[in-house]
Amino acid sequence: MTLTVQEMAEDLEFAYEQQSLMTYVRNPQDGDSPMATAQYPYIHPLRTLSGHEVTEVKPATHPYQHGLFLSAQNVAESNFWGPATYLPVHGYVLRDDRGDIRSQKHEVYGSAGAAGVNEKLHWVSKQGMVLLEEDRVIEVERVDPAESCWVLRFSYTLRNVTDEWIHFATPGSDGRKDSTGRPGWGYSGLFWRGPMSMQNGLIVGPETSGEQQLDGDSTAWLGYVGRVAAQESSTLIFVNDPENHTTWYANSSEYPGVGFGIAARQRRFLAPTASLTRNHRVCIADGSWNREKMSAYVAGL
């Protein structure tokens, strides 16, 4: 098994046996960054082993969502998501609060068994103040040709480098509710935006299924099955680290999106010098997997 990482200008191309698995855009140019919002690194395209793309950038409904990316809607009153910031009582407000996530340095590695990048980044406010220093690892951890599946590891540590407490907030933590009166829209953290062909896909958990049932839940894993071609489907399994205590953001009816929430239902606070670490895995597979197959695969990771 040959895994490689090739540097191309500001992008990194991850490949298995010379077949592209994903492109990591480390430093997007202004024209390629999310519209009128934060500039952040992102993964697109993300592909299955058969070559189907399972991410989208600049979708018509939410042009600021780019592939698979790490971001947050309100960090110490800086919006790294945008374009509008959700505020308690007021709702969504357009204000001059854009933050950027900027790559500082990186080091790639590759071997027969794994290939990845270690990267240091800064989360910078509109005023140019570094709020968070981030250590990030993106790695092709495992490839299973027999299952037509591969595993992406995305780990990060965010460290508060200011002299003040920093908050992470979302619409879900700040009062926005869905049509049933439940807190909703807790998007933050590592987030996947799929192509619109995967809209109305099946969202599956270890014991139940459905967007309403799993949005806001904290299950060990969450699967998404959706169409990528006329007669073909792909399956993504988002695997939670037990130490994360992640609350899922799950959307299928409006658009295909899944997030490992940082502050999905309540604000999270980070003291000066304190850090927040998260370890995530995403399994990217060809075909339509059922709950039993998803569960068995996750158990073997």
pLDDT, tens only, 188-229: 899 999 999 999 999 999 999 999 899 989 999 999 999 998
Using the predicted structure, report yes or no on whether residue 35 has a pLDDT greater than 60.
no
pLDDT band at 39 (very low <50, low <70, confident <90, very high): confident
Alpha-carbon dihedral 59, 38, 167, 179, rounded to 10 degrees = -20
Using the predicted structure, report yes or no on whether residue 36 has a pLDDT greater than 60.
no
Say which residue, 194 or 184, is predicted with more confidence.
194
Beta-carbon count within 10 A of 300 CB: 9
For all residues of the chain together, what is the average pLDDT?
92
User: What's residue 38's pLDDT?
Assistant: 65
The one-letter amino acid code at 130 reads: V
Domain 3-299 - what CATH class? Answer: mainly beta
Tokens of 4: 């490689």
User: What's residue 264's pLDDT?
Assistant: 87
Say which residue, 229 or 282, is predicted with more confidence.
282
Q: Decide: 189 and 278 in contact? Cβ < 8 Å.
A: yes
Q: What mean pLDDT is predicted for residues 138-161?
A: 97
Nearest to 80 by CA among 62, 98, 96: 98
Q: Decide: 65 and 59 in contact? Cβ < 8 Å.
A: yes
- pTM attached to this predicted model: 0.95
Each domain of the chain, given as residue ranges in start order, spans 3-299
Q: What mean pLDDT is predicted for residues 17-37?
A: 77
User: What's residue 30's pLDDT?
Assistant: 61
Say which residue, 236 or 231, is predicted with more confidence.
236
Q: What is the pLDDT of residues 86-122, one digit of tens each?
A: 999 899 999 889 899 999 999 999 877 889 999 999 9
Host H or E run for residue 218? none
